[in-house]
Amino acid sequence: MPMTVRQQRVAELLFQELSVLIANELADPRLSMVQVTQVDVSRDLRNVSVYVSHDDDSVSKREMLQGLRNAAPFMRRQIAERGLLRVAPELSFHYDDSPERAARVDTLLRQIAAERTASDHSNTDRSTGGHASPPQAQ
């Protein structure tokens, strides 16, 4: 079901606010490289799904999500205190692996392109005997 204009505006507002909160106001070292990738807001604006990714290989996805769940009451309080919404929504965090999938697809496409280029060069070399033939005079 498509989001309403109100849901979209709230999602954008929360995206910005949560990005700043996570990057600048949380002291948990497990959350140092976390990036908010998407925010989905329920129709009644009371539940928010926050999708995140991270680039820190020393912290597992599970640890990172646990850190965010532990920080959720603080972030919810901050949203309420800043008067962003009438009701501070419940925050649920989910790992977004789409950046990793996109990188994997990009790698595969580059591999296929390289293989095709190599295959085209070897086919050209075989058909010309390894060298280009001179043009025929008529």
Ordered domains of the chain (ranges, CATH): 5-97 (3.30.300.20)
Residue 93 token pair? 């965090």
- The residues, ordered by sequence, that sit 6+ positions from 14 with a Cβ below 8 Å of its Cβ are 39, 41, 48, 50, 79, 84, 89
Instruction: To the nearest 10°, report the CA torsion of 12, 14, 17, 21.
Output: -140
Who wins on pLDDT, 92 or 56?
92
Out of 56-60, 61-65, 127-131, least confident range: 127-131
Task: Please give the pLDDT value at position 40.
Answer: 95
- Positive/negative CA dihedral, 64, 65, 69, 71: positive
Distance CA 64, CA 30 (A): 6
Percent of residues, the chain, with pLDDT higher than 90 = 50
